Amino acid sequence: MDFGILVNEGPFTHQAADTAYHFAKAALEKGHQVTRVFFYFDGVNTANKLMEPQVDDRNLMKLWSALGAEHGLDMVVCVAAGLRRGLKDEILAEGFHISGLGQLIETGIQADRLVVFGD
């Protein structure tokens, strides 16, 4: 199965951000493909390399970066949502890149399923 993943919630505001990561990791471990992970709305904050959570807290930015590097994931940050939240190329974590909603539409067309995490 080929999955597209849409992350709409930020890394510290909703369980959806953690669930999206664990879903992607589990799908890949089971041999499925992940066409693209698209970060939208507050989900774009996941890609901010300036994020410094407490030592005893999980760091979704680092987790996604590692998963993306290991599996060659296409991790896209919505340009409009990112700019509204002050995200620019200079502060994107490794493995993330900025693009437009066309990438989300393409994901919905190419993937067998588009799984949405968050409202």
Q: Which residues are catalytically annotated?
A: 78
d(CA 70, CA 88): 24
Between CA 79 and CA 22, with CA 34 as vertex, the angle to 5 degrees is 90
Collapse the DSSP code of 52 into the 3-class scheme (helix H, G, I; strand E, B; otherwise coil) and give the result.
coil
d(CA 101, CA 57): 31
